[in-house]
Structure 1
Amino acid sequence: MTLRHLAQQSRRDASLRMPTGLRHHMTANALVFVLDGSFLVGLKVLAHSMIQHRTLLDLPVIVLSNDSTLADDPFVKEFADRFVHVTPSAVSRFDGISHELVRESLRLDWIPKYTFLKWLIFDDWGVDQLIWIDADVLCTGNVDHLTELRHHELYAAEVFQPTMHTTQEGEVLPAEQCDENILRHANGDAPLGASLNSGVMVINKPLLDRQFQAELIRAAKEEPFENEQQVVRAVLERRGARGWLSPFDNFHHSYVMRLSDAARDLVLPRIRLLHFIGPKGKPWQRRPQVHATKELWWAAHDDAIRSSDLYDDPST
Structure 2
Amino acid sequence: MFRMPPEWAPHERTWMAWPGPNLTFDDEAGLAQAREAWAAVARAVRRFEPVTMVTGPGQSAEARALLGPDVELVERDLDDAWMRDIGPTFVTDGERLAAVDWTFNGWGAQSWARWGHDSKIGAYVSDLAGAQTHTSELVNEGGAIHVDGEGTVLLTETVQLGPERNPGWTRAQVEAEIHARLGTTKAIWLPRGLSGDYGEFGTRGHVDIVAAFARPGVVVAHTQPDPAHPDHELCKGIVAQLRAETDAKGRPLEVVEVPAPTTLKADGEWVDYSYINHYLCNGGVVLCAFGDPRDKGAAAVFQELFPDRTVVQVDARTIFAGGGGIHCITQQQPLVGQG
With the length of structure 2 as denominator, give the TM-score of the two structures.
0.31
The structure with the largest helix share of the pair is: 1
With the length of structure 1 as denominator, give the TM-score of the two structures.
0.33
The structure with the largest strand share of the pair is: 2
